[in-house]
Structure formats: structure tokens, C-alpha cells
Amino acid sequence: MEIAIVVVFILGYLAITLEHNLKIDKLVPAVAMMAVIWALVAFGLEGFTSWFDSSHSRLVEGFGSLPIHANGEHDELGFFASKSGWLEHTLLHHLGKTAEILFFLLGAMTIVEIIDYFDGFSTFKTYIKTKSRKKLLWIFSFLAFILSAIIDNLTATIVLITILQKIVNDKETRMWFAGLIIIAANAGGAWSPIGDVTTTMLWIGNKVSTDMLITYLIGPSLLCMMVPAFIVSFMKPFKGSLENDVEVSPEEIHETKFSSVMLYLGLGMILFVPIFKTITHLPPYVGMMLSLGVVCTFAEIFSTRRFALTSLEDHKADVGHHSPVHKSLSKIEMPSVLFFFGILMAVAALESLGMLFNFADKMNAAIPNSDIVVMLLGVGSAVIDNVPLVAASLGMFQNDLNDPIWHFIAFSAGTGGSMLIIGSAAGVVAMGMEKISFFWYFKKISWLAMLGFLVGAISFFIIRGFIVG
């Protein structure tokens, strides 16, 4: 049965990787793979010899001798006396850990959509007052680096390319800018616990803390962004000015009365989440729900339609349609949420059967140096989605909180995807918005992303040496 489970996982993985060729959204193979794998686990309970108790991080000895069902739920030591008891307990455990990540992401996505509802991101256009291509390169790079650390690299890329399209008229030039935005956004998301899905997974999984994550990765991530930007600033596409291109007109800067207020409120409340976790020691999704509640309250207050007392009765019937909160919730990227759910639960099944630990033992035997293993994970994230790779690493490694390997995994998975345009959500969305071809990016940008990745990795080793001693 283990072989059948591995085959289903590999086939599902291939379908996810080839979603553009198959023209099937990656959520379809992800959720189908998850359901089939757990069904195979249920059917094959009688034949499994080992089981990993995730809640206590230990392998259950003698799992094969346990009955499928038992009258008592627990034995004299308080452990489950049947395989079905372990299966139910494990499913609920993994569902709970996965739900923590998903509700955190849902809260963050809703806040971002509320900011966008009030056209808050248009505020960034006020920072762009130069026609110099080189200066614009650095402005967009740093904006992508900072913005992706606060919201996420996908949204930061969408926002900045949208602004870019209003400023730069030449398509070839925009493609170069977009390539550097991808690198900067992925680098910015790596050092923040709320900047990238994979880093968020490590943070919520209690593998990294906010302060140590920033300490280890702010320098390597900054170098990963700055080295490619510095090199291309001397290249032809970034020489001269944008004299023949369009400018941002004053009326495009603020489209609503509360644009800047909602921008700063939304970003501020997202930044508040790590502080809330530090103070209360509650899971991050609790703080995100509090932040969402605050942002939603102000969104409703600022919405004149919602609080127009003179016409309250007229709008009562369809208030949901006009409410900024309802509107923002309707725009949530649910396919991405379902994809994360499918991937995380599928990998959880492999973890529960002890497969990931066996794989980790074999890999460590073949490649004793864990740094090389993690760097290969970074290179692999350029080809395969980094979410399942990091999910797998959570089961492969059993190191303690803030062990340097977790921070290196966050860096490698976050920035390694920049090496191919299909290697990250930021790259895929830029590919669609600017119609960038795979081979153009591979020829022009990939070597820059790889150089930034290597420089960042080397700087991480140096910083680790100083911290660990």
C-alpha cells in the first residue's frame, strides 16, 4: 500500500508542476491527491508497521500488532488502543495545524483586498517622481522588498506591476523591471514571518521565531535583492530616462478619500500580528483575526453606503453587496487556499506513515551535509512548488526551535523560486500580467536570481557562524 500512496503522490505532484501544460488548475490534483492518499491509508491500516504520532513527535512502536478497532478508545497508558483511533486522532491533529495556516492566510488576504477596495495601494504612486530608469529600478526593488515582507510576495508583485504599467510604456523595459521585481519580492518575503506562505508555515509550526528569523535572514535577503539590481543597473535596459514613456497623472494618485488611511491601517494591523503572538503566546491566526476585525470595522465606518443614515432602509436589503468587507471576501483567492489545504494534508499523510523520516535518513546518508540538502531544496523550488517542499521538510527534520537549518530552509525555499519564472507565485503572476515567456526569463533573469541566491546563502553561512559561534 505504501508504494501505491507514493505513486499517487508523485502523479499528483507532476500534475501540479505541469498545470500550465495540462490546463488544469493545480488545486484539482492537490485536493484529489489528498483525498485518495488518505483513503489508501484507511484501506491499508492493517498492513502498516509504523505510525508517527505528530502531536508528541514520536513513532508508535508495535503499530502493526494493534487491532483495527477496539472497544476501549485508550489503553492503560492513555494511548489509543486501535489503529482506527490513531487514524482519527492524526487526521484531526493535521486538520487543526493546517487550519491554523489557512485561517491566517484568509485573514491576511481579506485585509489586502479591503486595502485594495479603498484603492490604498495607489498611495505608492506618490513615491515615484523620477524618470531615471536606474532610480526607478531601485525604487521598485526596495518597494517590492519591503511590501512583500508586510503583505506577501504575490500581492506585492501584482501591485507594483500594475503601477509599473502606468509609468513605463515600453514592453521590453517593463519585462526587465518585472524580472527584478520578482527577485526582490521573493527575497523580501523570505525574512518576514508574514511575507511568504512557506515562511509562515515555519513560523506557525513553531520552527522559527520572528526576532531570530529577521536576525538570520534580513542580511542575506537584502543581498539577494541588491546584487542582481546592482548588476543590471549598469546594463542597457536601465540606462537613460523614461522621456518617451507615460507619467502618473495627479488624478491617478488617490481615487478614494480614505486610500492612505486604509493602507497604513491595514499594513499596520498585519505587522501587529507577530507582536500579538509574542505578548499572548497564542497562535498567529488569533492575532490575524483581531487585526481583521479592526480593519473591517474601519472599512464599514468609512463606507458611506453602509452608514448613510438618511437612506438606511434603502440599502438594508442589499447591504452585503455594498459592504467593503463582503466585497473583499468575494475576491479572496480560494483556489490558492484549497491548493494549500490539499498539499499540506497530503504531505501530512506521508509524515504519519513515517515515509518522510525514512527519506530524510536516506538523504542524510547520501549527502551528510545538511546545507547542501537545503540548497538543493532551494534549487528544487524553482521547478516544484515550494509549499510542498517546505511541508515535506517539516517532516524530514526534527531540529529544535530556531535551529539555523529552519532559517536556511526559509531562505532557500523563498528565494530559490526566483531562478525560474514558474518557480514562485510572484513569477507566475508576472508571467501572466506582462506575457513574459519562460525562455526570455531564463535567458535574461535566471542567472541574476541564481547569483543573488548564492551570495545570500554565503552571507547566511557567515552570519550563522557569528551567531552559533
Contact 306, 300 (CB under 8 A): yes
Reply yes or no on whether the pLDDT at 309 is more than 50: no
Alpha carbon distance 224, 219 (integer Å): 9
Reply yes or no on whether the pLDDT at 37 is more than 60: yes
Rounded to whole angstroms, what are the CA distances from 215 to 58, 168, 404?
Answer: 31, 36, 11
**Residue 322 confidence (pLDDT):** 65
- The single-letter DSSP state of residue 59 is E
The three-state secondary structure class of 194 is: coil
Reply yes or no on whether the pLDDT at 183 is more than 90: yes
**Residue 308 confidence (pLDDT):** 43
The three-state secondary structure class of 166 is: helix
Contact 247, 167 (CB under 8 A): yes
- In one-letter notation, the amino acid at residue 252 is E
**Residue 56 confidence (pLDDT):** 62
The cell numbers describing 468, all together, are 552559533
Looking up cell 506557525, which residue turns up? 204
Q: What secondary structure does DSSP assign to 310-376, as a single string?
A: GGHHHHHTTHHHH-HHHHHHHTS-HHHHHHHHHHHHHHHHHHHTTHHHHHHHHHHHH---HHHHHHH
- In one-letter notation, the amino acid at residue 439 is F
Reply yes or no on whether the pLDDT at 301 is more than 90: no
**Residue 314 confidence (pLDDT):** 45
User: What pTM did the predictor assign?
Assistant: 0.70
Residue 330 pLDDT level (bands cut at 50, 70, 90): confident
Contact 176, 133 (CB under 8 A): no
Reply yes or no on whether the pLDDT at 253 is more than 80: no
Residue 71 pLDDT level (bands cut at 50, 70, 90): low
H or E stretch covering 52: strand 51-53
- The single-letter DSSP state of residue 400 is P
Higher pLDDT, 462 or 46: 462
Alpha carbon distance 50, 60 (integer Å): 6
Residue 310 pLDDT level (bands cut at 50, 70, 90): very low
The angle at the Cα of 379, spanning 28 to 406, to the nearest 5 degrees, equals: 90
**Residue 90 confidence (pLDDT):** 83
**Residue 7 confidence (pLDDT):** 92
Alpha carbon distance 316, 318 (integer Å): 6
H or E stretch covering 263: helix 259-280
The cell numbers describing 464, all together, are 550563522
Alpha carbon distance 55, 139 (integer Å): 46
Contact 404, 439 (CB under 8 A): no
**Residue 58 confidence (pLDDT):** 64
Reply yes or no on whether the pLDDT at 76 is more than 60: no
Segment 107-126 mean pLDDT? 82
Name the residue among 161, 169, 151 with its Cα closest to residue 109: 151
What confidence tens digit (pLDDT) does each residue in 214-233 have? 999 999 999 999 999 999 99
Residue 368 pLDDT level (bands cut at 50, 70, 90): confident
Contact 179, 406 (CB under 8 A): no
Reply yes or no on whether the pLDDT at 289 is more than 90: yes
Helix-strand-coil split of the chain, %, nearest 5: 75, 0, 25
Name the residue among 97, 99, 104 with its Cα closest to residue 270: 104
For the chain, percent of residues with pLDDT exceeding 90:
25
Handedness of CA 411, 416, 418, 421 (dihedral sign): negative
Q: What is the β-pairing status of strands 51-53 and 58-60?
A: antiparallel
H-type helices in 367-398, by residue range?
370-380, 386-396
The cell numbers describing 138, all together, are 531601485
Q: How does the average pLDDT of the chain come out, rounded?
A: 81
Reply yes or no on whether the pLDDT at 292 is more than 90: yes
Name the residue among 124, 206, 111 with its Cα closest to residue 152: 111
Q: Which residues, in sequence order, are CB contacts of 249 under 8 Å at separation 6+?
A: none
What confidence tens digit (pLDDT) does each residue in 379-423 have? 888 876 677 678 778 777 878 888 999 999 999 988 998 998 877
